Structure 1
Amino acid sequence: MPADARGALVKPVNGRLMATWMPLSGPSRIPPGRVRLAWTPAGADRMDVTAHLGLAGAQVLLALWPGLRGEWSGVVRPTVAEVTELHAALRLATAVLDRMAD
């Protein structure tokens, strides 16, 4: 991860993770429904990876994968995809309920 980045905003696209760097100089807020991954070296060929989820009113720790080796996107991708899809489903359900209440 570049020294001037706080992490990468990621989203699943066609079974792959697409990433956009979040610069340290920019806002730290994670957009609702998006996931920010950050990683730091944890020894020889190992990375500590964290994922934070942006919600409407907060950012929450979604997952922590300590000491991952080698190509770790396969470990992280299922969680990012599932949480992104769950967030979209909850937003849709909320919109439907709001309409029904009106």
Structure 2
Amino acid sequence: MPAGVGGALVRSVPQHATEPTPTAWVSAQDRAPIRPGSVLLRWTHTSAGGMDVTAHLGLASTDVTLAIWPNLHGDWTPVVHPTLLETIGLHAALSVAIDALQLANHLADA
């Protein structure tokens, strides 16, 4: 990870944990709101040599803590990948369902 980086913004996740996950590095000081459907992974080094990793999910009106993984060591992709894949996929499906419901309501009113 580059110096000064304290997080990674994830907007899409490949099906397999062995494939690279597209991310955008986020500085440790950046506290900008997270785009709905995106996940921000933040990490801090632990005294035991690992990393505490926290995932924050961007929603329409707020950001919420999605998961916390304490004291991860080595490559933690296999640990966080399932949560990222399911959460981003679920958010996308719910967004489509909301849009479809809004369209159906609009057509019913017309």
Map 1:16-31; keep pairs closer than 5 Å.
Answer: 16=19, 17-23=21-27, 28-31=32-35
Given the alignment of the two structures, is residue 36 of structure 1 paired with residue 36 of structure 2, yes or no?
A: no
User: Structure 2 unaligned runs (5+)?
Assistant: none
**TM-score, normalization by structure 1:** 0.87
Q: Looking at CA atoms only, which structure, 1 or 2, has the larger radius of gyration?
A: 2
Runs of 4+ in 1 over 6 A off after TM superposition: none
Q: Which has the higher strand share?
A: 1
Unaligned runs of 5+ in 1: none
Q: Could you say what secondary structure the match of 1:30 adopts?
A: coil
Give the drift of 1:60: 0.4
Could you tell me how far apart the structure 1 residues matched to 2:51 and 2:92 are? Answer: 29
In the TM superposition, 1:2-81 aligns within 5 A as 2=2, 4-10=4-10, 11-15=12-16, 16=19, 17-23=21-27, 28-81=32-85
Shift of 1:44: 3.2
The TM-score, its normalising length taken from structure 2, stands at 0.81
C-alpha RMSD over aligned residues: 1.9
